[in-house]
Amino acid sequence: MVRLPYGLLVVLVMLAGACAGQQRPEQSAEAHIRTFHDHMRWGRWEAAATYIDESQRFDFLVEHEGWGDDYHVTDYEIASVALGASGKEALVSVRVQSYRLPQTRIIDRRITERWIYHEGLRLWQRVEARERELGRDAPGELDDRRQRRPTDEEEPFPARPR
């Protein structure tokens, strides 16, 4: 009697894994972006580097590993993820609060990132990031942008020639 439920469980897990492997790029975007930022939150630079475009990965690791244990992210929020028409490019707005020892002042930053889906890797990777420090009175600055796509005037990255 014990074997039947266990066997059924194994089959269900295998089916779920097969279905997860069939996700379309737009379905996996938020999960990959969140995983990247979780790695950043906990200082797992090598794991985060997986989500950085290969051409920028070495510089990313040199910069972040150079921070050592002095850099700490206290909180982050993915404010918006706007997928492009193809579903294989995304513009992401993230709010990060961090500090670097010996300073104890928390710095509040908005990071605008451009992500591209790589078919061969079946992975979203960050290809560009721009950041700016937010003022002390800016806690709700991103709140009104969460549910809408940026307009052409707000696009922080120019279209790349193809």
The pLDDT of residue 67 is: 85
For 12, 14, 93, 128, the CA distances from 112, given in Å and listed in that order, are 39, 37, 5, 8
Question: Would you call 148 helix, strand, or coil by DSSP?
Answer: coil
Q: Give the domain extent around 29.
A: 25-149
**Cα 162 to Cα 160: distance, rounded to the nearest angstrom:** 6
145 in any annotated domain: yes
Instruction: For residue 91, give the CATH number of its domain.
Output: 3.10.450.50
**Cα 38 to Cα 109: distance, rounded to the nearest angstrom:** 16
Model confidence at 76, pLDDT cuts 50, 70, 90, reads very high
Q: What is the pLDDT of residues 29-48, one digit of tens each?
A: 999 999 999 999 999 999 99
The count of domains in the chain is 1
Cβ distance 61 to 44 under 8 Å? no
110 in any annotated domain: yes
6 in any annotated domain: no
156 in any annotated domain: no
Q: What is the pLDDT of residues 82-138, one digit of tens each?
A: 999 989 999 999 999 999 999 889 999 999 999 999 988 899 999 999 999 887 544
60 in any annotated domain: yes
Greater confidence (98 vs 5) lies with 98
161 in any annotated domain: no
